[in-house]
């Protein structure tokens, strides 16, 4: 066996403690000083060992609390395009995803009337400064945050209707397709662009994730026959969701 740096040897020791059950999911590791004393090495070596294990997804840090063994909770599955198809019940799709996973769900939503920025105006095909309704969502399942998002809707389309405020009224908590069907403007298409990046400090706090956890970022645009009506930017911790897509194909023509 070839030579290994000291930090890698220590990382392997801690990894074995995790895989053999001596350190269980959710348990806190000893302090940095205690680990230095236990392994007779410097703080720098311990930090490198812990960083190695964080990169492997075995540990996570929580500011002001310490380092913990990561809980290997089974990720949720976000199915598309099925999540947007008409259902027997009108609830937003995350309720169905929680039900499928056997989890309880809690939604925090805040709406405000504001004006479209240049970016939002371009997405929605409206003028900068036009009125929009902005809604901020935070979804938790079994007490664990699984997504945060900001959504913008064209105010002139929903003003005076039963869906003017997505967070209140008879259609609060309903899914996008059901809400717009209720005002006679059926959704005809939804486009998504997915990217990945590291979270901002605010996102890491909102989602209760270590700063080194990557995010899926979904830019979603919903259309009716007359054009875009809603755009959303959805941030999802990559370790808490799997993205599943079916690609419908046209029926082949027999020769």
pLDDT in tens, 126-157: 999 999 999 999 988 888 888 999 999 999 99
Do 176 and 199 reside in the same domain of the chain?
A: yes
Residue 118 φ/ψ, nearest 5 degrees:
-60, -40
Better-predicted residue by pLDDT, 43 or 92? 43
Which residues touch 89 (CB under 8 Å, ≥6 apart)?
none
Cis peptide before 3 (omega within 30 of 0): no
Q: What is the mean pLDDT of the chain?
A: 86
Compute the 3-state secondary structure of the chain and give helix, strand, coil in percent, each to the nearest 5: 30, 35, 40
Cα 110 to chain centroid, rounded = 17
Can you tell me the mean pLDDT for 26-33?
92
* 197, 171 Cβ separation under 8 angstroms: no
In percent, the amount of the chain with pLDDT more than 90 equals 51
Residue 58, pLDDT > 70, answer yes
Q: Flag the least confident range among 44-53, 117-126, 140-149, 229-238.
A: 140-149
| Domain count of the fold of the chain | 2
The residues near 97 (Cβ < 8 Å, ≥ 6 apart) are 76, 77, 78, 79, 83
Read off the pLDDT band of 253 (50, 70, 90): low
| 251 assigned to some structural domain | no
**Domain co-membership, 102 together with 56:** no
In a domain, 181, yes or no: yes
Question: Does 252 reside within a domain?
Answer: no
């Amino acid at each position: 066996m070839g030579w290994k740096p000291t930090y890698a040897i220590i990382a392997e020791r801690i990894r074995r403690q995790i895989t053999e059950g001596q350190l269980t999911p959710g348990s806190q590791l000893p302090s940095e000083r205690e680990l230095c004393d236990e392994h007779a090495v410097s703080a720098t070596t311990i930090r490198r060992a812990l960083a190695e294990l964080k990169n492997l997804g075995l540990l996570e840090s929580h500011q002001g609390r310490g380092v913990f063994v990561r809980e290997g909770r089974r990720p949720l599955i976000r199915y598309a395009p099925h999540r947007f198809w008409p259902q027997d019940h009108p609830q937003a799709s995350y309720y169905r995803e929680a039900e499928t996973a056997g989890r309880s769900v809690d939604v925090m939503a805040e709406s405000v009337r504001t004006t479209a920025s240049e970016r939002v105006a371009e997405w929605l095909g409206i003028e900068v400064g036009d009125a929009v309704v902005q809604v901020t969502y935070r979804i938790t399942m079994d007490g664990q945050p699984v997504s945060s998002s900001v959504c913008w809707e064209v105010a002139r389309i929903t003003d005076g209707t039963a869906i003017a405020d997505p967070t209140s009224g008879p259609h609060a908590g309903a899914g996008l397709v059901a809400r717009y069907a209720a005002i006679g403007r059926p959704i005809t298409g939804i486009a998504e662009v997915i990217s990945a990046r590291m979270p901002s400090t605010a996102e890491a706090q909102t989602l209760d994730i270590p700063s080194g956890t990557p995010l899926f970022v979904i830019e979603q645009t919903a259309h009716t026959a007359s054009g875009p009506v809603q755009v959303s930017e959805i941030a999802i911790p990559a370790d808490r969701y799997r993205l599943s897509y079916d690609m419908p194909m046209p029926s082949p023509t027999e020769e």
